[in-house]
A and B are shown apart, each in its own frame.
Chain A
Amino acid sequence: MTWTQPFAADSFPSGSGAFPHKHLLGIAGLQKWEILYILKEAEQWVALNRSGPAKHDGRLSGLTIINAFFENSTRTLLSFEIAGKRLGADVVNMHAAQSSVKKGETLIDTAMTLNAMRADAIVIRHGSSGAVQLISSKVDCPVINAGDGSHEHPTQALLDSLTIMRRKGRVEGQTVVICGDVLHSRVARSNLFCLKTLGAEVRVVAPPALMPSGIDAFGAQIFTNFDAALDGADVVMMLRLQNERMQGDFIPSPREYFHLYGLDERRLALAKPDALVMHPGPMNRGVEIASNVADDVERSAITEQVEMGVAVRMACLDILTRKARGQEGWA
């Protein structure tokens, strides 16, 4: 499907007015046009990334970006690293497992240390909700939240919206079903805020034990029956079920979970014929999603999500470092 521009090129405020934030800590609180601006900016990086072997832009040349990951991650870390490098930045990765965090250093002391190294941007993932905001208050450079506890994962929501926009033409008016461990999912929260702000209808589906209280206040329609939620869906977004939640505390077993909340061909047929299947990865095949659904090139946008991730992260790094680079209108 073609990309129908939901915005005119000149419809954004000029200069830093288009994205007047120092950090990207979450989607909650962002204006619709701020989200659209990042997505619009990401478009050029999608094009560059597809342009062949010389996919490089030197605008962040000389800048140092630290990826500080206090929680294990493969794809998000790699995605941010590639994004920084494609823009010419010097990218350094800090893994908690190798850092002094293991030696008992407090998060604030770690933040002060990173700050003293004069990074130009810091990308942070942490297992505790609010940890990234805490660090951002102690450092001088822009901070991007790459996932904090059960709070937010803003770049995931942005890449998901970009994927939907490119596949469906627009986000507004789409019916998006988000299914899985909504209670513990930062992906679900960020996507709910992003999709609602962009005008989509959002249905959240979870076993009762994994549904957060009061989520309807943010505009979500609540379902415990996956089949019912799928009726008329344009997009089906599956969430990863963490292994530690499968042992009887929240759900009885992976088998029973798949029986009620797994996405297989029969269930997918309840959605619209052209419904898009998404998953933030890494997938638990056979637990939340059947392999044949995940691998269906017509329906599944899972690899495209990964591709959009690099572009969205390039856009975020570019936008947030414009002030430091002295770009006109962004000082």
Chain B
Amino acid sequence: MTGISILNGHAILPGADKAESLHLHIENGKIASVGKAAPIADQLDASDLIIAPGIIDLGVFKTDKPAFRFGGITRAALMPDQSPVHDDPATVRFAALKGKPDLWVHPLAAATQGLNGLQMAEIALMKEAGAVGVATGRKWIANSGILLRIMRYCHALELPVFVHSEDAGLSGNAVATAGETATLLGLSSASSITEALAISRDLLLAEESGAHVHFRQVTTERGLDLIRAAKTKGLRITCGITPGHLFLSDNAVSDFRTFAHLSPPLRSESDRLACIAAVADGTIDVIASGHDPRGPEDKRLPYSESAPGMAGAETLLALSLNLVRDNVISTGRLFELLAANPAKILSLNAGQIAEGYEADLILIDPDAPWQVDGDRMAALAGNTPFDRLPVQGRVRQMLKGGKVI
């Protein structure tokens, strides 16, 4: 295989805050050298562009290649909430092959059969079929006994457990967070403590089992406080969030905007600010898109009948770059949240620009302005609550395993 040299780019190296001007050399799909001027046959000029690791999107609901290509996502961890549910080796194996070669899908196995929260699924067989983690899906597992057994099992199998943090007893059929907006609109709502309730139990189970537990979305101040304290204590836990909860609060639901119907529901402004602070102080490890494209049949409905979720893959990078512009985090830290940390959670040899790592790279023009337009998205559906928002940051080139795609 011939190599590629990327010249004149500003690469984001592990541990660095800012991009450094240097050359990259790629051989056999891997990063062969960093920093040395060694132009080989194929050359890619990356002047004025940032060379970043390809985004590893931790927890999407659809394999949506055009949207991932637009968004600079080279790998995606696919949630088991599919039809049929990914609770057996055959569906997992099929899902793992679906995106190759230019997109790698890493399936997360359903923790329980049919995601029913009651009986364990064939987790070990699904691991052999390609599953890189186990997830409870969009739902919380109410039965503490079964979840503890799943966590112990996953600990033995060295698989991370992705949990959804809403206490179902408290949240019931709620579609909104209790507060002024929900009361004004007459939407069924639940107190935001539903999240902290779920997290506090799952932290105890994580400690008891020793499993690596990833809290896929933590969206409230109280939930984040619990995570922060548990990390200080040394628990093997990580947590994530999506741009929806970082940049919108529940007043985005006004006028019954179903595109802002997310799961968990959007929170208060003070919770949103707590999420930003938790990105800044390192409590939050991962920013993911939660990509869930939904057509009119799921979204053009009365609010409480609409399906939750947003098409987020295309806007993930541009929205996340706002955190750099607003001086919340450095560019280097942002790509830990978008690539390096997800790779570590899934034990992938990717997500960093360093010798020996997979050459999954994106070349970014960080200042390129564009406008989010739900009517013209590459995704399977344009259900974005950020419609019409002017943003900055475009992916100009993408390399998967050293190949330009």
Please give the residue numbers on chain A whose beta carbons come within 8 Å of chain B beta carbons, in ascending order: 28, 106-108, 126, 128-131, 133-134, 148-152, 186, 189, 212-215, 217-218
Contact = CB atoms under 8 A, between A and B. Distances in A.
A152 B183 CA distance: 11
Contact of A130 (B178, B296, B297, B303): B303
Nearest to B301: A107
Interface string B298-316: 0011111100000000000
B180 A217 contact: yes
Nearest to A131: B302
Given A106-B297, A107-B301, A134-B302, A218 B184 contact: yes
A215 B183 contact: yes
B185 interface: yes
Nearest to A193: B184
Nearest to B255: A133
B186 A108 contact: no
B47 interface: no
A230 B306 CA distance: 40
A213 B179 contact: yes
Given A128-B304, A151-B186, A214-B179, 5 more contacts: A28-B184, A106-B300, A130-B303, A212-B178, A212-B183
Contacts of A215: 183
Contacts of B255: 133
Interface residues of B, number: 22
B256 interface: yes
Q: Is the interface of B mostly helix, strand, loop or mixed?
A: helix
Contacts of B297: 106
Given A134-B256, A218-B184, A149 B304 contact: yes
Interface string B109-151: 0000000000000000000000000000000000000000000
B392 interface: no
A129 B183 contact: no
Interface stretch (B35-43, B61-69, B187-195): B187-195
Interface string B151-185: 00000000000000000000000000011101111
A129 B184 contact: no
Given A128-B303, A129-B256, A133-B256, A150 B178 contact: no
Nearest to A190: B186
Contacts of A186: 186
Contacts of B303: 128-130
B302 A129 contact: yes
A153 to B, nearest CB: 10
B171 to A, nearest CB: 14
Contacts of B184: 28, 189, 218
20 contacts: A106-B301, A107-B302, A128-B305, A129-B186, A129-B303, A129-B304, A130-B185, A130-B302, A130-B303, A131-B302, A134-B300, A151-B186, A212-B178, A213-B182, A213-B189, A214-B182, A214-B183, A215-B183, A218-B180, A218-B183
Contacts of B301: 106-108, 134
B185 A213 contact: no
B391 to A, nearest CB: 27
A149 B302 CA distance: 10
Contacts of A213: 178-179, 182-183, 189, 191
A129 B189 contact: no
Contacts of A150: 186-188
A318 to B, nearest CB: 27
B185 A129 contact: yes
Contacts of A214: 178-180, 182-183
A218 B184 CA distance: 8
Contacts of A151: 185-187
A258 B297 CA distance: 43
